Chains A and B, each alone.
Chain A
Amino acid sequence: DAGITQSPRHKVTETGTPVTLRCHQTENHRYMYWYRQDPGHGLRLIHYSYGVKDTDKGEVSDGYSVSRSKTEDFLLTLESATSSQTSVYFCAISQAGELFFGEGSRLTVL
């Protein structure tokens, strides 16, 4: 157990509204990641962080922003949600060259 908690676990929202997903870890890991999982695409990296206030874009970063003001929290924000952002979002941490994942946040944008 890598001590990763995602919230909310489920959310339904409407197009154009802002949404923030939170990833919280308890073990001081430096690297944190946000992935989205979609049928036929597997997992794709949205953004990652390598320290407080240090973040970088991944493969599918358009429409998403992130923030990391504390080691333990990595926030993913959709400024104006679209239906194409309906997905399952996974947070992960890196430990000894391996990724450990949270349980996921299912977001539905109507």
Chain B
Amino acid sequence: GDSVTQMEGPVTLSEEAFLTINCTYTATGYPSLFWYVQYPGEGLQLLLKATKADDKGSNKGFEATYRKETTSFHLEKGSVQVSDSAVYFCALSDTGANNLFFGTGTRLTVIP
């Protein structure tokens, strides 16, 4: 079945550090891949997405590339800020599916 395996946290970084959060997936079809972010006390918001192999999603300085050969969709940011502190979820939607499968989430804390 479809599943997402996400790097466990928590992750603590200093401001301006480089961020990578690993995500790998298993899917039977041709999934779309997503990163969602959840700020404290809020619901999830879409951060970026990619719908086919080799696509790169980007938003707010975050990037992720859909790698079919390694079944991965790792999230990266070159220089994190305190305001990036949140929980990040990797997710997939398989071909013809009506819902998303989520990873377990990675809590990021950025300290000044």
Contacts and interface: CB of A to CB of B under 8 A. Distances in A.
Contacts of A103: 41-43
Given A48-B99, A58-B99, A90 B44 contact: yes
Contacts of B4: 42
B49 A40 contact: no
Contact of B44 (A43, A50, A58): A43
Contacts of B46: 98-100
Contacts of A40: 104
Contact of A98 (B42, B49, B102, B103): B49
Nearest to A35: B102
Interface string B75-112: 00000000000000100010000111011110000000
B59 interface: no
B45 interface: yes
Contacts of B44: 43, 90, 99, 101
A50 B54 CA distance: 31
Given A45-B100, A103-B41, A104-B43, 5 more contacts: A42-B103, A45-B99, A97-B93, A99-B99, A99-B100
11 contacts: A31-B98, A42-B104, A44-B102, A48-B98, A58-B99, A94-B98, A97-B51, A98-B49, A101-B44, A102-B43, A103-B41
